[in-house]
């Protein structure tokens, strides 16, 4: 017993690990916290317009959500290389990988921009048949859809900066942009008679968001390119050139990540369609719950992303054992922390819900949804660090795709669809059934971690037989 306790103590007695984790995770967590908090404030402001506006913006943001996941797939996939290349201080290849990330992210953003701006009614019609919700949501998309192009560029350079250890720049810029968004949202939604600005409702929220995204993108580009020595400052040549051999080597592990995000995003979109089938009250309640989930998840996003960078750097340095130990520490910290935060969410839910001026039925459903979330948060958090911080950072992208991209279709969607369409269950029961996916995912993910088969040096792919 004493020996086991000693091993346990030694497992966590690593100042270098905790120093790196703190340095990387805290700024990322702060950024995510500010993002989630201000998104919550924005939703509360929109909530003053009624449940139709909450439901409309929630469904409209599903388009942005799909784009976000696609871009996340690209930047997290290329971040595998950037983190490991940074461990080798290979700046030329880092910039070439950034160039690839820019090309793919912008192509995806252009597609979603076309859908949002020119065909909003068609995309919203997939989620709801309510003409009021569709009309309000379309007004929002026609404006906010323009921000997708700027968001793509911001995401690429933010992720690349974090992978090279510069976590403060994305934090400061994104936080500033979000604060500006909220400040602008108030007068644009409700009007400002002093300067003759009319109340624009949901359209005003979209305008405020667009302005913030444009300024955010401008700021991060300005700060990165003012220093020519910045490792992620890709040149025009890096962006425009297409070395097919280099491109193929990078994309081989990145494509499963992108496919993973596409499959998962389509799965979560299917969840939204299933929720919408229950009714407008259900949509509004789910959107409130999702915003609170985002807020509760900020710490775990920080730990997950930090772990990916740390593990990737160690693999790039050739220290496989340290990469394995770092991953295990983060996983255990993540699971324990999620239990604590789940309890906090449970006790604070009632206070947060008081700010919403929506139907009492929406509040009651949201309260139950939040309670379910608080109990299952440790499952989601554990799986997040396994997928992002361990499997992807180790280059095991095919297996992570199976866990994250396929299980949602083979387990989560069938269970929730059966609950909604066959048994006609209330929204909170349908939502609870989605956690079946998380249970299966965790059991398989833990098995993969202990096998060590996920540890791969991906930099060899871009340095062997490829001219730098």
Q: Which of 99, 85, 92 is nearest to 153 (CA)?
A: 99
Per the listing, tokens 């929109």 go with: 46
Which own/partner pairs from 34-39 qualify as long-range (CB within 8 Å, at least 24 positions apart)?
Answer: 34/174, 34/175, 34/178, 34/179, 35/174, 35/175, 35/178, 35/294, 35/298, 36/291, 36/294, 36/295, 36/297, 36/298, 37/295, 38/178, 38/179, 38/181, 38/182, 39/178, 39/291, 39/294, 39/295
Q: What is the number of residues in the chain? A: 468
Distances (CA, A) of 154 to 104, 212, 351: 13, 12, 34
Three-class secondary structure assignment of 412-424: HHHHHHHHHHHCC
pLDDT at 11: 56
Q: For the segment 45-91, what is each residue's pLDDT rounded down to a tens digit?
A: 776 776 677 777 777 777 777 788 788 888 887 887 888 888 788 88
Asked whether the predicted pLDDT for residue 43 surpasses 90, the reply is no
Beta bridge partners of 197: 192
For range 27-40, the mean pLDDT = 72
- Would you say residue 196 has pLDDT above 90? no
3-state SS, residue 230: coil
Of residues 191 and 410, the one with the higher pLDDT is 410
- Mean pLDDT of the residues in the chain: 84
Closest CA to 25 of 296, 274, 300: 300
Percent of the chain with pLDDT over 70: 93
pLDDT for res 208 = 87
Contact in structure between 312 and 337 (CB atoms under 8 Å):
no
Max intra-chain CA distance, the chain: 74
Q: How far apart are CA 448 and CA 398, in angstroms?
A: 12
Shortest CA distance to 55 belongs to which of 160, 141, 144, 132?
A: 132
| Cα gap 199→386, rounded to integer Å | 46
Q: Is residue 227 within 8 Å of residue 233, measured between CB atoms? A: yes
The region that residue 426 occupies, defined by phi over 0 for left and psi between -120 and 50 for alpha, beta otherwise, is beta
**pLDDT for the residue 463:** 55
Model confidence pLDDT, tens digit, residues 415-426? 999 998 999 888
Is a pLDDT exceeding 80 seen at residue 268?
yes
Q: Which two tokens stand for residue 43?
A: 């939703």
Q: Which residues contact 440 (CB under 8 A, 6 or more apart)?
A: 407, 411
User: In the predicted model, is pLDDT for residue 4 greater than 60?
Assistant: no
The count of C-alpha atoms lying within 13 angstroms of the C-alpha of 242, restricted to the half-sphere facing its C-beta, is 3
How high is the pLDDT of residue 467?
42
pTM reported for the whole predicted model: 0.74
Rounded to 5 degrees, what are φ and ψ at 192?
A: -145, 100
Q: Are 45 and 357 in contact (CB under 8 A)?
A: no
Looking up tokens 């604590």 gives 340
8 Å CB contact between 391 and 397: yes
* Of the listed ranges 183-192, 422-431, 453-462, the one predicted with least confidence: 453-462
Q: If pLDDT is split at 50, 70 and 90, which confidence band does 406 have?
A: very high
**Are the beta carbons of 100 and 79 closer than 8 angstroms?**
no
Tell me which long-range contacts 440-446 makes (C-beta under 8 A, separation of at least 24).
440/407, 440/411, 441/383, 441/386, 441/403, 441/404, 441/407, 442/379, 442/382, 442/383, 442/386, 444/403, 444/407, 445/382, 445/383, 445/386, 445/387, 445/390, 445/391, 445/403, 446/386
Output 382 or 61, whichever has higher pLDDT: 382
Per-residue tokens: 444: 């398989």
Interval 377-396 mean pLDDT: 92
DSSP string, 237-281: HHHH---HHHHHHHHHHHHHHHHHHHHHHHHHHHHHHHHHHH-HH
Among 1-5, 196-200, 268-272, 434-438, which is the least confidently predicted range? Answer: 1-5
Q: What is the pLDDT of residue 433?
A: 94
The larger pLDDT score, comparing residue 155 to residue 30, is at 155
Which has the closest alpha carbon to 171: 18, 392, 388, 23?
23
Q: What is the mean pLDDT of residues 9-23?
A: 76
Query: What is the Cα–Cα distance from 275 to 33, expressed in whole angstroms?
Result: 26
Lowest mean pLDDT, pick from 46-50, 144-148, 401-405, 421-425: 46-50
Residue 328 predicted with pLDDT over 70: yes
- Model pLDDT, residue 391: 93
């Amino acid at each position: 017993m004493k020996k086991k306790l000693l091993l346990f103590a030694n497992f966590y007695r690593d100042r270098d690990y905790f120093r790196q984790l703190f340095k990387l995770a805290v700024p990322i967590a702060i950024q995510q916290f500010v993002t989630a908090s201000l998104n919550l404030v924005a939703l509360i402001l929109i909530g003053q317009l009624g449940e139709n506006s909450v439901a409309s913006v929630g469904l409209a943001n599903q388009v942005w959500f799909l784009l976000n996941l696609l871009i996340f797939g690209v930047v997290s996939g290329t971040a595998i290389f950037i983190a490991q290349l940074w461990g080798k201080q290979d700046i030329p290849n880092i910039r070439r990988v950034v160039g690839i990330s820019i090309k793919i992210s912008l192509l995806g953003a252009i597609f979603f921009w076309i859908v949002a701006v020119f065909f909003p009614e068609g995309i919203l019609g997939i989620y709801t048949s309510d003409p009021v919700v569709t009309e309000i949501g379309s007004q929002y998309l026609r404006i906010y859809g323009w921000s997708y192009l700027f968001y793509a560029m911001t995401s690429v350079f933010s992720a690349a900066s974090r992978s090279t250890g510069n976590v403060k720049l994305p934090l400061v810029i994104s936080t500033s942009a979000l604060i500006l968004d909220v400040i602008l949202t108030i007068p644009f939604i409700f009007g400002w008679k002093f300067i003759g600005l009319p109340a624009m409702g949901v359209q005003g929220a979209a305008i405020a968001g667009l302005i913030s995204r444009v300024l955010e993108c401008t700021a991060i580009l300005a700060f990165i390119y003012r220093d020519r020595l910045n490792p992620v400052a890709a040149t025009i040549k890096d962006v425009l050139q297409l070395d097919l051999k280099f491109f193929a080597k990078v994309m081989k592990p990145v494509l499963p990540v992108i496919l993973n995000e596409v499959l998962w995003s389509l799965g979560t979109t299917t969840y939204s369609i299933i929720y919408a089938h229950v009714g407008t009250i259900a949509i509004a309640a789910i959107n409130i719950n999702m915003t609170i989930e985002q807020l509760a998840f900020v710490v775990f996003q920080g730990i997950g992303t930090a772990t990916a960078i740390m593990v990737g750097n160690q693999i790039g340095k050739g220290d496989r054992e340290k990469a394995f130990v770092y991953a295990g520490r983060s996983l255990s910290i993540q699971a324990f922390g999620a239990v604590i935060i789940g309890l906090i969410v449970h006790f604070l839910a009632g206070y947060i819900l008081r700010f919403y001026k929506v139907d009492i039925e929406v509040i009651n459903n949201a309260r139950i949804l939040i309670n379910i979330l608080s109990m299952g948060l440790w499952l989601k958090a554990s799986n997040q660090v396994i997928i992002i911080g361990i499997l992807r950072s180790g280059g095991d992208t095919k297996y992570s795709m199976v866990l994250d991209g396929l299980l949602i279709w083979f387990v989560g969607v069938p269970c929730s669809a059966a609950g909604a369409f066959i048994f006609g269950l209330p929204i909170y029961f349908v939502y609870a059934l989605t956690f079946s996916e998380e249970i299966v995912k965790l059991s398989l993910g833990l098995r993969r971690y202990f096998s060590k088969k996920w540890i791969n040096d991906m930099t060899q792919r871009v340095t062997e037989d490829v001219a730098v």
